């Protein structure tokens, strides 16, 4: 039998403020937001699990708690690291015994913009910057410390954000929704620009694709000519090419397959340089670091 969620709670007396211990507990529990992810209600079960300690303290009336749990099982899809922002707002409304329909509407309007903001803040900004710094440490020092440091920095940052958003939005109430929606576009754009700038710097710093070809007699190193025009030109062209393909409708999977095919064929025909630091039997460096399957030109003799 379907449960009809009432529009108003039976006990309309505002509940006392939630203590910091309960708020902090819900911050920890919000980490399991996607533990019960499904395609019917997305993150609804994890959302209810995370917010339940607060609801239990707010609604001492069992029927009100039942109604609150029911409407908090509505479809929800938001950024998992910023979900405590929505939790704080909803808890503030629940505490003041707002209409259930009002709470449901505010929850949807608050959760929606967080997807773009969270992606810009974390995946386009924090991850490239942190990964770029720690990956460089791991490569130079040949140590696992870089990988550990990445995990520590990333998770510490996202957990501090969870904790701060929970307390800030709970104390601010519905005003937080207005602040979010009025500045969401500008914030997302600023974070996206910073992320794109960082990704561009990573391409210039770590883009290692180079040409192995030598032409003319005496042999001319093609890569040397390209570096004279613009260093890291080939990684830049590859990035711009993939961007153009994605704009035309290509999926990331197709782009990855294309890169694999071009990379394998290019190495087989001696087009791309492989920097494996390989040496021959005499200890001299092997140009390109590998022997291509098809040799259609001669490299200059190693000095």
Percent pLDDT > 70 in the chain is 83
Q: What's the pLDDT at 61?
A: 94
Q: What's the pLDDT at 3?
A: 73
Contact between 269 and 259 under an 8 Å Cβ cutoff? The reply is: no
Contact between 83 and 59 under an 8 Å Cβ cutoff? The reply is: no
Task: Determine which of 11-15, 30-34, 72-76, 193-197 has the lowest per-residue pLDDT on average.
Answer: 193-197
pLDDT by residue (tens digit) across 57-99? 999 999 999 999 999 999 998 999 999 999 998 999 899 898 8
- 228 falls in which pLDDT band (50, 70, 90)? confident
Q: State the chain's mean pLDDT as an integer.
A: 83
| Mean pLDDT value across residues 261-282 | 76
Distances (CA, A) of 195 to 112, 123, 127, 217: 21, 8, 9, 45
CA–CA separation, 55 and 274 (whole Å): 59
CA–CA separation, 86 and 14 (whole Å): 20
Which two structure tokens, joined as six digits, stand for 121?
């803040």
First to last CA, the chain: 85
Q: What's the pLDDT at 90?
A: 92
Q: What's the pLDDT at 247?
A: 92
- Which comes out higher in pLDDT, residue 253 or 220? 253
For 194-240, where are the E strands, in sequence order? 214-215, 220-221
Nearest C-alpha neighbor of 95 from the set 207, 1, 190, 11: 11
Q: Which residues contact 69 (CB under 8 A, 6 or more apart)?
A: 48, 52, 55
pLDDT by residue (tens digit) across 168-212? 889 887 666 566 556 556 655 665 676 677 677 767 776 778 888
Contact between 145 and 137 under an 8 Å Cβ cutoff? The reply is: yes
Q: What's the pLDDT at 286?
A: 59
Instruction: Decide if pLDDT at 24 tops 60.
Output: yes
Task: Determine which of 133-142, 164-173, 250-259, 262-271 has the lowest per-residue pLDDT on average.
Answer: 133-142
Q: What's the pLDDT at 194?
A: 63
CA–CA separation, 75 and 300 (whole Å): 65
- Which comes out higher in pLDDT, residue 125 or 281? 125
pLDDT by residue (tens digit) across 235-263? 889 989 998 999 999 998 999 999 999 98
- 284 falls in which pLDDT band (50, 70, 90)? low
């Amino acid at each position: 039998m379907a449960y009809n969620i009432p529009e108003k709670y039976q006990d309309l007396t505002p509940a006392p403020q939630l203590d910091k211990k309960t708020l902090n507990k819900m911050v920890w529990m919000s980490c399991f937001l996607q533990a019960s992810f499904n395609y019917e209600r997305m993150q609804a079960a994890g959302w209810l699990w995370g917010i339940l300690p607060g609801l239990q303290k707010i609604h001492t009336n069992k029927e009100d708690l039942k109604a609150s749990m029911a409407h908090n099982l509505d479809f929800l899809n938001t950024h998992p690291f910023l979900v405590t922002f929505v939790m704080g707002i909803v808890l503030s409304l629940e505490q003041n015994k707002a209409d259930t329909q009002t709470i449901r509407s505010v929850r949807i309007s608050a959760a929606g913009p967080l997807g773009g903001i969270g992606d810009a803040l974390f995946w386009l900004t924090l991850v490239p910057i942190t990964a770029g710094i720690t990956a460089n440490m791991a490569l130079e020092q040949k140590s696992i410390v870089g990988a550990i440091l990445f995990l520590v920095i990333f998770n510490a940052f996202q957990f501090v954000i969870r904790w701060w958003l929970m307390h800030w939005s709970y104390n601010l109430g519905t005003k937080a929704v207005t602040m979010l929606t009025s500045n969401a576009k500008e914030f997302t754009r600023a974070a996206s620009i910073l992320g794109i700038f960082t990704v561009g710097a990573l391409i210039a710093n770590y883009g290692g694709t180079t040409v192995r070809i030598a032409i003319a007699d005496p042999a001319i190193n093609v890569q040397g000519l390209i570096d004279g025009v613009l260093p890291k030109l080939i990684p830049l062209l590859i990035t711009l090419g993939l961007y153009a393909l994605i704009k035309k409708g290509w999926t990331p999977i197709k782009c990855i397959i294309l890169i694999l095919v071009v990379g394998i064929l290019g190495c087989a025909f001696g087009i791309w340089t492989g920097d494996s630091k390989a040496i021959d039997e005499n200890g001299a460096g092997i140009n390109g670091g590998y022997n291509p399957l098809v040799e259609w030109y001669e490299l200059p003799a190693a000095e």
